Amino acid sequence: MRSLKLDTPKSLSQRVMQRLRQAIIDGEFALGAAISEEMVANSFGVSRTPVREAMGQLQAQGLVAIRPQVGSFVFTPSADDITALCTFRIALEPRAAELAYRCDRDGAIASMGAAIAA
């Protein structure tokens, strides 16, 4: 029997945070770009309070830097951040390619060919 447990509804600030997080990840905001609380609030049709709470959550995740009396900005990776990310990808990606090839040889070859062509 399936569980009858209800999912807890997401708060307004949680929904704002998730949408802003996705916008940052998708590059809708450039690295280092200012994010206006007022613009976000107007865009989402909400007050600035849930936007401010969302910005605090994004700061805790390292995606936003909040500078008092200045504003909120999308993070800018340091040279050390980029080195750490590249080191991680060098370790992870060959293994992922190997597993993809093992599980779906033709699909993996087609996907890699398309990525190389792009």
Alpha-carbon span 68 to 78, nearest angstrom: 21
Domain parsing of the chain, residue ranges? 12-74, 79-117
- Domain 12-74, CATH class in plain words: mainly alpha
pLDDT per residue as tens digits for the range 82-106 = 999 999 999 999 999 999 999 999 9
Q: Give the model's pLDDT for residue 1.
A: 55
pLDDT per residue as tens digits for the range 3-54 = 666 566 688 899 999 999 999 999 999 999 999 999 999 999 999 999 999 9
pLDDT per residue as tens digits for the range 51-85 = 999 999 999 999 999 999 999 999 999 999 999 99
Q: Give the model's pLDDT for residue 3.
A: 63
Q: 71 — phi, psi (to 5°)?
A: 145, -175
pTM of the model: 0.67
Q: Give the model's pLDDT for residue 36.
A: 93
Alpha-carbon span 50 to 6, nearest angstrom: 24
Beta bridge partners of 64: 74
What SS3 state is found at 48?
Answer: helix
> What secondary structure letter does DSSP report for 71?
E
Q: 64 — phi, psi (to 5°)?
A: -135, 140
What SS3 state is found at 34?
Answer: strand
**From the centroid of its chain, how far is CA 116?**
25
